[in-house]
Structure 1
Amino acid sequence: MNEPVVSETYAAQIRRLAELTARVAAQRAEAHTWYAQQCAAADRAVAEAAEQVRRAEADAAEARELVDRVDAEVAHLWEELRTRVRSGGRRLGDPPGPARDAAGDPVSRLRGVRDLLDRIRQRGELPGSANPLLVGCGVGGSLVAYALGAGARALGHGSGGDLAVGMPVLALVITLLGPLVGLAPARLLADRRHAMLTPRAITVVVAAGLVATVLLLVLTR
């Protein structure tokens, strides 16, 4: 019986086929591994991009909230400044817009403006240089009161009956109130200078008005 003869060439081809099959399987496994790595990297990139978008949206929302808060605070502080300037006889327009080259924390800047307005809001005392004006207020008030009293006396002299008796008394009361009349213009003076009408200033006005009233009564007696 004849036995099959194995050719060396056939055996070599079988070995080569096995090697190629193993190489293809290794390359296929390598390709699957590379694909899985690329998918994982893509997934990580997408997740990181989504996280960056989320952070950017949160930062944008926080920035919008800060802008709204700063705009509201600016409008409030500007309205306070406008009220204060208007009380001083001047007019103030709309608040200025944001500066292009502005830098720094707007919250700290607004805090500084708020502190400045608080210091301005605290009224001080009229300086000594305002004493002549306070004396003028006292003297002027006395002159006005004396003029009104003189008018009341003249009306009483020209009338009869109860008016002739009551008008001189009313005229005397008005004249004696002259030193206090000057407090009204003195208060306006203090408001225009954003100051308080302190007891010292009141004393100057009343003393000047009292001296003027006494002199008027003595000179016209």
Structure 2
Amino acid sequence: MNEPVTSDTYAAHVRRLADLTGRVAAQRAEARDWHDQQCAAARRAVAEAAAQLRAAEEEVAAARSLLERVDAEVGHLWAELRSRMGARGLGDPPGPARGTADDPVPLLRGVRELLERTGQRGELPAAVNPLLALCGVAGALVAYALGAGARVFGQRYGGDLAVGMPVLALVVTLLGPVAGLAPAKRLADRRHALLGPRPMAVVLVAGVATTVALLVLSR
């Protein structure tokens, strides 16, 4: 027969079992806490990664939009430069410079302002005053010649033309100084300049002087 277990031995086994059970429960609780902490950390890491991914996607979209706007502005400025310089053989606009990280927007603004200043026409220099005076003289001579032709035409055919043509001839002759402004304007356009008050005054003075001289000599 089996020998009976003493109460002291049984109590020791019970205490040991209780101790082991408590240690297992504590380890299980510790494992659950560790698992919960790892899951929470993983969720935080995933959320942070998702936020960083969204921020990166927004930066990429903004950079792509900026690139498209910069390319469009560069194409527009390049076309304007080719138009103003008349250099159709310039080809395509240059690409971005290597090794630079500057914001292109201020750079393009500076290029735009430079083109605007370059495209502004200045007044004709004083060195072309002889040419302007020649325009006035030529306009007066052409108008006087047309007026003289009108007078001859009226005298030849007589009647009402003999009365009206001299009046028309006088009007055309008096418009001679103004007619000189047309070639002066072409001269200014070819030099990419403005026909300002001073050049106009030179043309008109030369034209008026020529017209007065022609009228005095024709008497």
**What TM-score comes out, normalization by structure 1 length?**
0.76
Number of the residue aligned with 1:32:
32
Give 1:28's aligned amino acid. Answer: R
Number of the residue aligned with 2:159:
161
Number of the residue aligned with 2:106:
108
Counterpart check, 1:184 vs 2:188: no
Alignment of 1:7-46 (within 5 A): 17-18=17-18, 20-46=20-46
Deviation, structure 1 residue 79: 6.6
- Cα distance per residue 1:119-141 (max 9 Å; x no partner): 34544322112212212221221
> Unpaired runs of 5+ in structure 2?
none
Distance in 2 (alpha carbons) for counterparts of 1:95 and 1:165: 66
Give 2:46's aligned amino acid. Answer: V
Give 1:43's aligned amino acid. Answer: R
- Cα distance per residue 1:86-140 (max 9 Å; x no partner): xx8x375897365363642122122213322443454432211221221222122
Residues 124 and 195 in structure 2, CA contact (< 8 A), matched pair in contact too: yes
Number of the residue aligned with 2:96:
99
Question: For structure 1, which segment, 195-204 or 184-193, has the greater mean C-alpha deviation from structure 2 after superposition?
Answer: 184-193
Distance in 1 (alpha carbons) for counterparts of 2:97 and 2:82: 24
Give 2:47's aligned amino acid. Answer: A
Distance in 2 (alpha carbons) for counterparts of 1:100 and 1:130: 43
- Look up the SS of the partner of 1:158 in the other structure: helix
- Look up the SS of the partner of 1:168 in the other structure: helix
Give 1:145's aligned amino acid. Answer: A
Distance in 2 (alpha carbons) for counterparts of 1:196 and 1:5: 125
Question: For structure 1, which segment, 121-130 or 140-149, has the greater mean C-alpha deviation from structure 2 after superposition?
Answer: 121-130
The alpha-carbon distance between structure 1 residues 146 and 91, as it changes in their structure 2 partners (threshold 3 A), is: farther
- Cα distance per residue 1:128-173 (max 9 Å; x no partner): 1221221222122122212222322332232121212322332232
Aligned counterpart in structure 1 of residue 172 of structure 2, from 171, 174, 189: 174
- Look up the SS of the partner of 2:157 in the other structure: coil
Deviation, structure 1 residue 29: 2.5
**What TM-score comes out, normalization by structure 2 length?**
0.76
Give 2:164's aligned amino acid. Answer: G
- Cα distance per residue 1:24-70 (max 9 Å; x no partner): 33332232122112101110111101111221222233334434444
The alpha-carbon distance between structure 1 residues 109 and 24, as it changes in their structure 2 partners (threshold 3 A), is: same
> Unpaired runs of 5+ in structure 1?
none
Residues 74 and 93 in structure 2, CA contact (< 8 A), matched pair in contact too: no
Number of the residue aligned with 2:66:
66
Give 2:137's aligned amino acid. Answer: V
